[in-house]
Amino acid sequence: MYSSEDLERFYFQYQTEAMPKGISIEQFCSRNKVPYNIFYKWYKDTRNKIVEVKVDGLPTSAQEEPKQECPSQEPSSTVTKPSGVRILVELRMTNGLHISQKNLSYQELKRLIEKLEGLC
């Protein structure tokens, strides 16, 4: 039996490998021996499980830091002022994509959101 995590990874693989080539999800399921009816039921059940999140204000350490614009740098290579607050972000999108980032600073969170906005 396929777990939700298995189907999530399968759908991500479809989006990154097959969708850009114009392959339908039915064809991709067939080629990878995943029953389409199981995938479709998972997709239908999970795509509406989205919770709206509203963030008010800035952490105190972020208000004091000067704004640094470095879009070409990855968050792991950026040196930021250590603060006591670290952020965990977990996103599940209506198309089944799941994004999880742990131990982010406020600046790294801003950078992640800017990158995600570019995808919209």
- Evaluate whether residue 55 is within a structural domain: no
- Rounded to whole angstroms, how far apart are CA atoms 111 and 56? 17
CA neighbor of 82 nearest in space, from 106, 66, 102: 106
Tens-place pLDDT, residues 45-97? 876 665 566 676 666 654 455 554 444 444 444 445 555 677 888 887 777 77
Q: Residue 17's pLDDT band (boundaries 50, 70, 90)?
A: confident
Angle among Cα 92, 22, 94 to the nearest 5 degrees reads: 15
Same-domain status, 97 and 64:
yes
Average predicted confidence (pLDDT) for the chain = 74
Same-domain status, 65 and 105:
yes
- Evaluate whether residue 51 is within a structural domain: no
Same-domain status, 76 and 39:
no
Q: What is the mean pLDDT of residues 8-26?
A: 87
DSSP reduced 3-state for 98: strand
- Evaluate whether residue 53 is within a structural domain: no
How many structural domains are present in the chain?
2
pLDDT of residue 110: 83
pLDDT of residue 75: 46
Range of the structural domain that residue 30 is part of:
4-46
Looking at residue 90, its amino acid is: E
Same-domain status, 65 and 115:
yes
Buried b (16+ CB within 10 A) or exposed e, 85-116: eeeeeeebeeebeeeeeeebbbbbbebbeeee
pLDDT of residue 1: 74
Estimate to the nearest angstrom the gap between the alpha carbon of 59 and the chain centroid.
22
- Rounded to whole angstroms, how far apart are CA atoms 31 and 69? 44
- Evaluate whether residue 71 is within a structural domain: yes
Same-domain status, 65 and 42:
no
